[in-house]
């Protein structure tokens, strides 16, 4: 069975992606910061009959990232790496004039530096996979100038560029930066408290990610809404 590593997988988009892959028979190695919801997610995903391992920790910790890759190797390798873990930099979001520099550093460390660190540790098994792929979860804030989204957007723009260069440097892999579009997630609620306007549930965009895996288009940046409409 193919094996995927997914960070930030105890809830939201990460959990929805894990559900979609488990339903297709994928074995999973999952990461999240908090053990209790991750353990619950692992139990729920196990009903699909695939192997699911969860590791609570911080993706900015190299030892934790190594633990994830080692677990995937024990399951057979790494066919897909999804970096979904994200940090906002400030909760709620604030304008750049007020953004704590420590918060910006945290967003860059989680959203970009940890993504590259995990890729570096997983590159050997990814390269030998018949269909090795890397997905980094991006945001429209990486490309648009939204007030108060500057720190988070800068970190997502950074990971977009890392993914773009990795796709050129590793032509044997597929490397996709995916903007999932607006979703009803805890991350958005923390970013903009009180904005309870209707938004799609994370599982509504999972078919866009699965389409990438099925069709394997060239490495690049993709928007989930466009994939769903095409």
Q: How far is CA 104 from CA 75, 98, 169, in A?
A: 36, 11, 28
Residue 137 contacts residue 86 (beta carbons within 8 Å)? yes
Residue 173, token pair as written in the block: 């892999």
Output helix, strand, coil percentages for the chain, rounded to the nearest 5.
Answer: 50, 15, 35
145-162 core/surface letters (b: 16 or more CB in 10 A; e: else): eeebbbbbbbbbbbbbeb
Please say if 152 is a catalytic residue.
Answer: yes
Annotated catalytic sites, by residue?
152
């Amino acid at each position: 069975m193919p094996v995927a590593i997914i960070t930030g997988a105890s809830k939201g988009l990460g959990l929805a992606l894990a559900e979609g892959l488990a339903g297709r028979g994928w074995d999973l190695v999952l990461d999240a910061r908090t053990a209790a919801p991750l353990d619950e997610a692992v139990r729920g995903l196990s009903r699909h009959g695939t192997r699911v391992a969860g590791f609570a920790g911080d993706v900015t910790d190299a030892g934790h990232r190594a633990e994830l890759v080692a677990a995937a190797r024990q399951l057979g390798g790494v066919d897909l790496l999804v970096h979904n873990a994200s940090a906002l930099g400030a909760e709620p979001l604030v304008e750049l004039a007020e953004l704590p520099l420590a918060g910006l550093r945290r967003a860059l460390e989680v959203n970009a530096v940890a993504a590259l660190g995990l890729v570096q540790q997983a590159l050997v098994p990814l390269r030998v996979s018949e269909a090795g792929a890397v997905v980094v979860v991006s945001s429209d804030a990486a490309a648009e100038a939204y007030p108060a989204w500057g720190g988070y957007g800068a970190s997502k723009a950074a990971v977009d560029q890392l993914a773009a260069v990795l796709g050129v440097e590793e032509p044997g892999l597929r490397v996709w930066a995916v903007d999932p579009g607006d979703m009803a997630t805890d991350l958005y609620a923390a970013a903009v408290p009180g904005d309870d306007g209707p938004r799609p549930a994370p599982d509504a965009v999972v078919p866009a990610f699965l389409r990438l895996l099925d069709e394997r288009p060239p490495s690049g940046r993709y928007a989930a809404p466009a994939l769903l409409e095409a």
